[in-house]
Amino acid sequence: DTGVSQDPRHKITKRGQNVTFRCDPISEHNRLYWYRQTLGQGPEFLTYFQNEAQLEKSRLLSDRFSAERPKGSFSTLEIQRTEQGDSAMYLCASSPPGGGATGELFFGEGSRLTVL
Amino acid sequence: GENVEQHPSTLSVQEGDSAVIKCTYSDSASNYFPWYKQELGKRPQLIIDIRSNVGEKKDQRIAVTLNKTAKHFSLHITETQPEDSAVYFCAASRGATGANNLFFGTGTRLTVIP
């Protein structure tokens, strides 16, 4: 499968614990995005990388959230001191250099976080 | 930033009827408008998209229209089938001219009644 892959698919943790999600984009894509989707809502933009540079961050990304893309390939999203309100699906997406012909984003299956 | 509004939030139609979902956006610089279909527990999947240089695009039973002046765009599904039942999201971005991060609407849950 050459699509966007995310790991783990499901994570259950206790409040206060740290969690980390990994995203592997489509290999030739240099743009990578993280979104958060809560039940019944559309995906909300969190942050965006072009290669290894984090170019944009949403105000939703509090101090407890950090994202990295150290070598411009895979990315990690870490949530420290998790809260119950962090329970959501975390979606990763990628797109080609320059956004490609249209700007289409290709999504992974997501990582579902449940904070008890 | 961009604000995308989507209506209705739920829509039930009889099989074979048409379904229409409408969205408005706020950022006049947005130029790319995709529609995603999301089934329960699955990733959003692109079903059709339109750029700002065209007013309408059609792909079999699915069509999208765009009115840039009024900043609204719509999804039309004809001859609906039970497998069309899902949540549909509209989105807007500055496309390839910008960061192209998408701003999504709140979704429409479409139910096609056999």
Contact call for residues A115 and A86 (beta carbons, < 8 A): yes
**Band of the pLDDT at A72, cuts 50, 70, 90?**
confident
Q: Which of B10, B31, B33, B43 to mutate to test the interface with A (most CBs of A within 10 A)?
A: B43
Q: Which of B105, B108, B107 is nearest to B71 (CA)?
A: B105
Residue A61 DSSP code: -
Contact call for residues A103 and B29 (beta carbons, < 8 A): no
Which of B8-17, B40-49, B104-113 bottoms out in mean pLDDT, i.e. has the lowest?
Answer: B40-49
* E strand spans, chain A: 5-7, 10-13, 19-24, 31-37, 44-50, 53-57, 65-68, 75-79, 88-95, 106-107, 111-115
Q: Which of A41, A91, A98 sits opposite B107 (nearest CB)?
A: A41
Contact call for residues A73 and A106 (beta carbons, < 8 A): no
Asked whether the beta carbons of residue A48 and residue B94 sit closer than 8 angstroms, the reply is no
Distance from CA of B102 to the nearest CA of A (A): 7
Q: What is the mean pLDDT of residues B28-48?
A: 91
Average pLDDT taken over every residue of chain B: 92
* Cα B60 from Cα B31, distance rounded (Å): 23
pLDDT for residue B44 is more than 70: yes
Asked whether the beta carbons of residue B89 and residue A43 sit closer than 8 angstroms, the reply is yes
Q: Which of A9, A43, A11 is nearest to A23 (CA)?
A: A9
Q: Which of B100, B104, B105 sits opposite A103 (nearest CB)?
A: B100
